[in-house]
Amino acid sequence: MFTIDLLVRYIPMPLSVEKKEEAEAQALYNQILEAIKGSQTQIIELTCDQQTEKKIAVMSDQVAGVIISQKDGTSTGGKVPGFFAALNEK
């Protein structure tokens, strides 16, 4: 399982969705990057493979960052997903 976290302005915690396939997760990551780079504001719609009823829509000009990470089902400790965990790892 792959997790895509979005850091959105004025929202203190990242919004995240999960994708089963690496190719799908990478494609979504690239789609979000292109939307952020674009000069025109657009709506980014995300769906989650883990929780199929979960849907997220954000404006591209409000996304401050995006991260993709692999969720390893075999290990249970240590790493916390999200931007705050990445900041603490040194």
- Say which residue, 29 or 84, is predicted with more confidence: 29
Residue 11 has pLDDT above 80, yes or no: yes
Q: Can you give the pLDDT at residue 71? A: 76
Distance set, CA 33 to CA 16, 26, 52, 67 (Å):
15, 11, 23, 10
**E-only strand ranges, the chain:** 2-8, 15-19, 43-47, 55-59, 63-70
Q: What is the pLDDT of residues 17-76, one digit of tens each?
A: 999 999 999 999 999 999 999 999 999 999 999 898 999 999 999 999 999 999 776 544
pTM, entire model: 0.75
According to DSSP, the residues that pair with 19 across neighbouring strands are 2
